[in-house]
Amino acid sequence: MAHVSRFLVLLMVAGTVTAFSQERWQARSMVISKRGIVATSQTLASQAGAQVLARGGSAMDAAIAANAALGVVEPMMNGIGGDLFVLYREGKTGKLTGINASGWSPQGLTAEVLKSKRHYGMPQDGIDSVTVPGCVNGWEKLHQRFGRLKWNELFQPAIYYAREGFPVTELIQGAWDGSVGKLRADENARRVHLKDGKAPRVGELFRNPALGKALALIAAEGASAFYRGAIAKSILATSKRLGGLMSAADLAEYQSEWVEPVSTSYRGWKVYELPPNGQGMAVLSMLNIMERFPLGNHAPLSPEAFHLKIEAQKLAYADLQRYLGDPRFGPVPVSELISKRYAGERASLVQADKAACSSEAGNPISSAGDTIYLSVVDADGNVASLIQSIYLSFGSGVVVDDYGFHLHNRGGLFVLDKGHPNELQPRKRPFHTIIPGYMEKDHLHVGFGIMGGLNQAQAHAQFVSNFIDHEMNLQGALEAPRFTKLTFSGCDVMIEDRVPQTALDSLREKGHFLQIQGPFSSWMGGGQAVMHDSTAKVNYAGSSPRKDGAAVPEPDPYFVPRPARAR
C-alpha cells in the first residue's frame, strides 16, 4: 500500500507540473503554419485572403482581397471610399516598400469657402469633410508591382458577400447599432444600411448589391472606374447634390505615392513606419524615449512600466501635434524628431514618480477613429502590413448615389489655423492617423498594426515593448492590457481593468487620472500581427480579441486530386 500511495503522490505531482506548464494569462494561441496566414478583424475576410493564397496568390493579392471583403462585412470601418497605407516586404530580396494612398482635399475647398458656409472649424461629417479616396488607386499600384493573380479574381469574395449577404458579427453589430443616428441623417445610408430604421441584428443576413455593382466595375475596369468612370460620375453627382466642391479633375488627377519607410532601432530590432502625413513618426519617437529606461526590468503590468510608457507617449504626441503635416507643402523634421539625441533630451523630462500634466500649445485633434488593419504572410516570406479606413464610423455619413458605399471624412483632421503644418489648403493631404507597422531582427520579420485613431502610435509602441521588453509572443503582445490617451494634454488616460488594482492605485498616486475601461476595450484598438521565420521557413500570426476576426492559415494541399489508379 505504501508504494501505491507514493505512486499516487507522484501522479498528482506530475499532473500539477503538467497543468502548471500549460498555464498562461493570454486567451488564444498563435496560429503557426508552413504556409501563408491572413489575419484580419472579421473571419470571413481572413478566410477570403487564405483562399487567395491557396490559389497561388501572393501576400499582396491576399491583402487586397481581404481588404475588399472587409469593406463589405465591416462597412463602418473601411471601404473603397477611404484611404490606404501599406508596408510590404518582398521575401526574395528582403526589400521593404511603402505606399501612401491617402487622398487630397478638393481644389476648391478653402477656409474662406468653409466660413462662407458658416463652418468656423473643420466639419467632422458631411460632404465638406470628404477628401479624395485613395484606396482603389493604391490597390491597383500594389497589385501591378506585387500581385500574381489576375486583378478581377481578387474581388470575387467581396462581390459574393455583397450580393449573397453575410451574417453580421457581434462587435461589428455593436458599432453599427451605435451609428444609427448618423445613418438616419443620409437618405442613401438609411436605405442601404438600415432596415425599418434599425441596424441589422447579430447573425442577420445583410446584403449590399449596390456595393457589389461598384466592386464588379472595379474588378472589370480597374481603378479608372472609380476615378474617371461610372463610379466617379456618381461621386461627383453626390457631391454636387450636397453642395460639395469635389471636381472631376480632383478625382482623375489623383495618384498614390511610393514612399521610403522611416525607422529606428529598439534594443537590437529595426522598427519601421511610414513617413508623414501619417503619425508613424510618433511610434519611433516614443520607442526612442522608452529605450532610455530599463523596461525589461519591470513586470509588464507594473505601475513603473505603465508610467514610463504613458510619459513617453505625452512627449511624442506633443511633437506629433506641433510638427505633423503633408511634406509636399512644407518640411516635417522627421529625422530630427526620431533621432536618438533628441530622444535623450525628451527622456530627461520624465519624472519617475510624477505624471506630467502641463498642456501643450495648439488645438488637440481628438477622436477614436474607425479603421481596419490586416496583415498577411505567404509561404515565400512576403509580408503585407495594410491599414485602411473611412475614419470615423461610417465616415462622412455620405453614401454615394447608386453604389452603396460611404465616403470618408479625413478632411475633418485639417485645422484652419494660419501657418500650422496641418492647415487646410487645396490638394493637400490631412494629418492621418492610420499607420501600418513592421519590424525585424536577423531571421524574424514581423508585420503588425493596431487600429483606433490617435490610439494607433501609442498602441504600436506598447506592442513592440510587449514583444521585445516583456518577451511575449505575437498573440500575447496583442492581447496584453493597454492604455490609450486620446488628448494632447492633461493627465487623463484610459486603461483596461485587467491591470492589477495595486498598479492602478500606484498610477493614481503618481498623478495619473485613470479612466477605467473594460477588459478588452475597443478604445485600445483591435490588432493583427504576422511573423515569418526565414531560417525555419515557418509563419506565425495573432489576432486581437478586441475585434471579431481571426488569423486563418492557407489550407495545405491535402485534397489535391491524384491520378486514377490503373485497373
* pLDDT tens per residue across span 350-384: 999 999 987 442 222 344 556 899 999 999 999 99
| Domain-embedded: residue 505 | yes
Q: Give yes or no: residues 294 and 308 share one domain.
A: yes
CATH assignment at residue 461 = 1.10.246.130
Does 496 fall in a domain?
yes
Whether residues 91 and 228 fall in one domain? yes
Question: Can you give the residue range of the structural domain that contains 288?
Answer: 260-269+276-362+451-525
Give the model's confidence band at 136: pLDDT under 50 very low, under 70 low, under 90 confident, else very high: very high
Q: Are residues 93 and 195 in the same domain?
A: yes
Q: Are residues 284 and 396 in the same domain?
A: no
Interval 197-219: pLDDT, tens: 999 999 999 999 999 999 999 99
89 with 114, same domain: the answer is yes
How far apart CA 428 and CA 90 sit, in angstroms, is 31
Count structural domains, the chain: 2
Last residue of a domain, one of 507, 525, 543: 525
Same domain (yes/no): 479, 378: no
CB of 133 within 8 A of CB of 81? yes
- Of 509, 525, 541, the last residue of a domain is 525
Same domain, 252 and 265: no
Q: Is residue 546 part of a domain?
A: no
Q: Of the residues 264, 371, 433, 484, which is catalytic?
A: 371
> Would 487 be classed as within a structural domain?
yes
Q: Each residue of 319-330: pLDDT tens digit?
A: 999 999 999 998
Q: Which three-class secondary structure state does DSSP give residue 265?
A: strand
- Whether residue 533 is contained in a domain is answered as no
Same-domain check for residues 483 and 334: yes
Residue 106 gets which letter from DSSP? P
306 and 336 together in one domain: yes
Query: What pLDDT is recorded for position 375?
Result: 98
* Measured torsion, CA atoms of residues 126, 131, 135, 140, in degrees rounded to the nearest 10: 140
- The pLDDT confidence band at residue 561, using thresholds 50, 70 and 90, is low
Among the listed ranges 17-26, 89-98, 193-202, which one has the minimum average pLDDT value?
17-26
Cell numbers that stand for 235 in this block: 461621386
- Confirm if 436 and 449 have CB atoms less than 8 A apart: yes
* 442 belongs to a structural domain: no
Is residue 59 domain-shared with residue 127, that is, in the same domain? yes
Residue 438 covered by a domain? no
Q: What is the pLDDT averaged over residues 120-133?
A: 95
Name the amino acid, one letter, at 166: F
176 and 62: one domain? yes
Q: What is the pLDDT of residue 366?
A: 40
- Asked whether residue 475 is domain-assigned, the answer is yes
**Beta-strand relationship, 166-167 and 257-259:** unpaired
Give the CA distances from residue 40 to residues 74, 80, 146, 268, 401, in Å, rounded to whole numbers and listed in that order: 11, 17, 20, 28, 29
- 93 included as an active-site residue: no
